[in-house]
């Protein structure tokens, strides 16, 4: 049989799509961990950041010598959907491009891939219904390239209806559609049977999940009732789809974990309006207040963009202030860069100088790291329960465990302690950085 190799860039949704691609291909080919051994090379791409584009272009050029030797190369995912002309007509070693909804065509695309002097093929139709509800990755697919065997990522929803001004997702992944609740529950059950302890539910706007009469809160209830999964997480939600019922379920169900990723994007109402985020600063901070007052020991993270078109220094200062008021435990922070096909690209000049973007981003990161360190230091002296995940990368004698709120604890086990992934340990925190806690084993 032919061998295939998949390389994935971007978000966890892309990682899950690579699992689907692998499952679809395995009827006709076998996976390999080396591009040099592969007859078929698939690059699954992201269209969110400029550096992701450049990485893919550079990687394709690196693979050119394998293409000349006869390997078929396909570009999958959001970049294929968004930059189709660039990929098709630039002198790149590509045989076909395929959007996120085209994976069912993989087998035929590979069989019918053109010779290198023929026109490249494209599969870029977007669907309005869930495309892969009958294709469920197995435990082996989930864990093939994962060091952490206790956690799996499960896609429940695709696409987005929000059309935020800076985002390409509605154009690259189409409109929102959700998987059947039973299909999701069956996938989680099978993962639990193989030892998975935690699942992270994925979607472009995960908490807008809607299938027939089921909404996101109903799906969580079904997973709690019908599976034995120990921990349920989710990412990424939109603040407009965060009802009190969901917060209260998290407050009262220990298995629905006390970790929330809540993208702020900007703390100025003027900037939020231009971003088309459909909430105000005050509305966002009220959601944060509800979460913090109702959910014990919750950790909240966020996404933030600086330098969006029209952002003044006063707007930026409002973002800094909102970040402090929300008291985020961690954050993904970026400088704005134009994306082809977005509303912002069409409507707004990219008028914040690059040097100013860099300065604002540096200040934002510096303040968040200090905030993260301050929040982590609050745990020093406390005894916490954590689940063992993997050996530490920096010191193989140490292990990484995770609290239900997502905080990582590094600890050195003793001879009497099991360090099997999935086991629970009690740890007394004695030190902290902005990223992790350090703990020692507590017996009894």
- Judged by average pLDDT, the poorest of 12-26, 107-121, 341-355 is 107-121
The residue that leads in pLDDT, 188 or 10, is 188
Q: What dihedral angle (degrees, nearest 10) is formed by the CA atoms of 8, 6, 180, 109?
A: 120
- Give the whole-angstrom CA distance, residue 273 versus residue 33: 46
Q: pLDDT tens digit string along 61-95?
A: 999 999 999 999 999 988 888 777 777 777 889 88
- Judged by average pLDDT, the poorest of 110-124, 246-260, 329-343 is 110-124
Question: Sorting pLDDT into bands at 50, 70 and 90, what band is 123?
Answer: low
Q: Which H or E run includes 40? A: strand 40-45
Q: Which fold has domain 2-123?
A: Rossmann fold (3.40.50)
pLDDT at position 410 is 97
The residue that leads in pLDDT, 258 or 158, is 258
The three-class DSSP label of residue 369 is helix
Q: What dihedral angle (degrees, nearest 10) is formed by the CA atoms of 198, 203, 206, 211?
A: -100
From residue 169, alpha-carbon distances to 36, 120, 172, 341, 387 in Å are 32, 24, 5, 10, 34
Contact present, 436 and 385 (Cβ < 8 Å): no
- Give the whole-angstrom CA distance, residue 18 versus residue 264: 29
Question: Sorting pLDDT into bands at 50, 70 and 90, what band is 173?
Answer: confident
Contact present, 63 and 5 (Cβ < 8 Å): no
Question: Sorting pLDDT into bands at 50, 70 and 90, what band is 115?
Answer: low
Superfamily of domain 383-441: Nucleic acid-binding proteins (2.40.50.140)
Percentage of residues of the chain with pLDDT beyond 90: 68
pLDDT at position 189 is 96
Q: Name which of 21, 14, 13, 16 is nearest 5 in CA terms.
A: 21
**pLDDT, mean of residues 401-412:** 97
- Give the whole-angstrom CA distance, residue 357 versus residue 221: 43
Residue 83 has which token pair? 């930059």
Question: Sorting pLDDT into bands at 50, 70 and 90, what band is 22?
Answer: very high
Question: Sorting pLDDT into bands at 50, 70 and 90, what band is 127?
Answer: low
From residue 235, alpha-carbon distances to 21, 193, 203 in Å are 22, 24, 7
**pLDDT, mean of residues 21-30:** 89
pLDDT at position 113 is 54
> Strands, E, within 54-213: which ranges?
72-77, 96-98, 121-123, 151-155, 157-158, 177-178, 198-202, 210-211
Please give the model's pTM, rounded to 2 decimal places: 0.86
Q: What is the CA radius of gyration of the chain?
A: 23
Residue 144 has which token pair? 């093939």
> Strands, E, within 189-256: which ranges?
198-202, 210-211, 214-215, 231-235
Q: What are the two backbone dihedrals, phi and then psi, of residue 303, each rounded to the nearest 5 degrees? A: -120, 140
Place of tokens 């093939």: 144
What does the mean pLDDT of the chain come to? 90
**pLDDT, mean of residues 51-66:** 86
Task: Domain 139-373: state its class.
Answer: alpha beta
Which ranges in the chain are annotated with CATH 3.40.50.12160?
Answer: 2-123
Q: pLDDT tens digit string along 8-18?
A: 988 888 888 99
Q: pLDDT tens digit string along 282-296?
A: 999 999 999 999 999
pLDDT at position 207 is 94
Strand partners, 265: 304
Which ranges in the chain are annotated with CATH 2.40.50.140?
Answer: 383-441
Q: pLDDT tens digit string along 351-371?
A: 999 999 999 999 999 999 999
Cβ-based neighbours of 267, under 8 Å, separated by 6 or more: 281, 318, 319, 320, 321, 322, 323
Residue 261 has which token pair? 């990723």
Question: Sorting pLDDT into bands at 50, 70 and 90, what band is 6?
Answer: very high
- Judged by average pLDDT, the poorest of 47-51, 198-202, 314-318, 414-418 is 47-51
Question: Sorting pLDDT into bands at 50, 70 and 90, what band is 128?
Answer: low
Is residue 120 scored above 70 in pLDDT? no
Which ranges in the chain are annotated with CATH 3.80.30.20?
Answer: 139-373
């Amino acid at each position: 049989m032919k061998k295939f190799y998949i390389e994935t860039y971007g978000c966890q949704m892309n990682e899950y799509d690579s699992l689907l691609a692998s499952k679809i291909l395995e009827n006709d080919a076998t996976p390999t961990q080396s591009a040099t051994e592969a007859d078929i090379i698939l690059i699954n791409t992201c269209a969110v950041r400029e550096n992701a584009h450049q990485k893919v272009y550079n990687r394709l050029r690196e693979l050119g010598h394998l293409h000349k030797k006869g390997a078929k190369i396909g570009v999958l995912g959001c970049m294929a959907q968004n930059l189709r002309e660039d990929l098709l007509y630039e002198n790149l070693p590509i045989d076909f491009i395929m959007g996120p909804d085209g994976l069912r065509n993989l087998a035929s695309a590979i069989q019918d891939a053109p010779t290198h002097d023929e026109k490249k093929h494209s599969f870029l139709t977007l669907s309005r219904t869930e495309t892969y509800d009958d294709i469920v990755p197995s435990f082996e697919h989930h864990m093939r390239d994962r060091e952490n065997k206790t956690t799996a990522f499960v896609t429940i929803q695709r696409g987005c209806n929000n059309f935020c001004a800076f985002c390409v997702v509605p154009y690259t992944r189409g409109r929102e559609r959700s998987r059947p609740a039973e299909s999701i529950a069956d996938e989680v059950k099978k993962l639990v049977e193989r030892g998975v302890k935690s699942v992270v539910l994925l979607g472009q706007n995960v908490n807008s999940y809607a299938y027939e009469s089921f909404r996101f809160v109903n799906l969580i209830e079904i997973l709690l009732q019908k599976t034995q999964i120990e921990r349920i997480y989710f990412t990424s939600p939109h603040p407009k789809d965060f009802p009190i019922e969901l917060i209260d379920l998290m407050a009262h169900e220990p298995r629905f974990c006390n970790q929330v990723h809540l993208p702020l994007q900007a703390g100025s109402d003027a900037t939020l309006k231009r971003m088309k985020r459909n909430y105000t600063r005050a509305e966002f901070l009220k959601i944060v207040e509800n979460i913090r007052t109702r959910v014990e020991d919750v950790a909240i993270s966020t996404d933030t963009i600086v330098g969006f078109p029209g952002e003044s220094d006063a707007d930026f200062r409002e973002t800094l202030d909102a970040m402090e008021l929300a008291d985020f435990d961690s954050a993904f922070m970026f400088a704005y860069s134009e994306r082809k096909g977005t509303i912002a690209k069409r409507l707004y000049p990219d008028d914040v100088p690059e040097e100013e973007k860099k300065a604002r981003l540096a200040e934002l990161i510096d303040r968040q790291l200090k905030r993260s360190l301050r929040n982590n230091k609050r745990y020093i002296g406390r005894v916490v329960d954590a689940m063992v995940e993997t050996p530490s990368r920096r010191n193989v004698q140490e292990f990484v465990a995770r609290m239900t709120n997502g905080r990582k604890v590094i600890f050195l086990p003793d001879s009497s302690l099991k360090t099997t992934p999935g086991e629970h340990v009690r740890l007394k925190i004695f030190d902290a950085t902005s990223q992790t806690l350090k703990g020692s084993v507590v017996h009894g």
